[in-house]
Amino acid sequence: MSILIVAEHDNASLKAATLNTVTAASEIGGDIHILVAGSDCQAAADAAASVAGVSKVLVADNAAYGHQLAENLAPLVAEVAGDYSHVLAPATTSGKNLMPRVAALLDVDQVSDIIAVVSADTFKRPIYAGNVIATVKNEEAIKVITVRGAAFDASAAEGGSAEQTNVGAAHDAGISSFVGEEVAKSDRPELTAAKVVVSGGRGMQNGDNFALLEAIADKVGGAVGASRAAVDAGFVPNDMQVGQTGKIVAPELYVAVGISGAIQHLAGMKDSKVIVAINKDEDAPIFQVADYGLVADLFEALPELSEQL
Partner 1 sequence: MKVLVTVKRVVDYNVKVRAKSDGTGPELGNVKMSINPFCEIAVEEAVRLKEAGVATEVVIVSVGDKSCQEQIRSALALGADRGIHVEAEGSLQPLAIAKLLEAVVDREEPELIIMGKQSIDGDNNQTGQMLAALTGRPQGTFASKLDIADGKAQVIREIDGGLQTVSLALPAIVTTDLRLNEPRYASLPNIMKAKRKPLDTLTASELGVDTVSKVTLVSAEPPATRQAGIKVASVSELVEKLKNEAKVI
Binding residues: 202, 227-228, 241-245, 258-265, 279
| Residue 212 CA, distance from chain mean position | 26
Of 131 and 165, CB closest to partner 1: 131
- Closest contact distance (angstroms) between CB of 294 and partner 1 is 5
Q: How far is the CB of 162 from partner 1 (least distance, A)?
A: 26
CA 3 to CA 6: how far, in whole Å? 10
Separation between Cα atoms, residue 126 and residue 137, nearest integer Å: 14
Closest CA to 215 of 224, 204, 203: 224
Q: How far apart are CA 174 and CA 172, in angstroms?
A: 5
CB atoms within 10 A of CB 232: 12
Give whichever of 160 and 251 is closer to partner 1, judged by the CB atom: 251
| Nearer to partner 1 (CB atom), residue 153 or residue 292 | 292
* Comparison of 206 and 273: residue with beta carbon closer to partner 1: 273
Angstrom distances, CA of residue 145 to CA of 118, 136, 226, 227, 295? 14, 12, 28, 28, 42
Q: Write out 107-128 in H/E/C secondary structure.
A: CCCEEEEECEEEECCEEEEEEH
- Give bridge partners of residue 61 from the DSSP assignment: 38
Shorter beta-carbon distance to partner 1: residue 161 or 195: 195
| Residue whose CB is less far from partner 1, 87 or 276 | 276
What are the C-alpha distances in Å from 269 to residues 37, 71, 123, 243, 275? 31, 32, 21, 7, 9
Q: How far is the CB of 16 from partner 1 (least distance, A)?
A: 11
What's the min distance (Å) between Cβ of 22 and partner 1?
19
- Report in angstroms how near the CB of residue 54 gets to partner 1 at its nearest: 23
What's the CA gap between 81 and 87, in Å, rounded? 7
Whole-number minimum distance, CB 205 to partner 1, in Å?
20
Closest CA to 7 of 71, 74, 79, 95: 95
Q: How is 75-97 classified by DSSP, letter by letter?
A: HHHHHHHTT-SEEEEESSHHHHH
Distance CA 309, CA 301 (A): 12
Binding residues for FAD, by number, are 202, 227-228, 241-245, 258-265, 279
The residue among 307, 98, 125 whose CA lies nearest residue 219 is: 307
**Shortest reach from residue 170's CB to partner 1, in Å:** 18
Comparing CB distances to partner 1, the nearer of 56 and 270 is 270
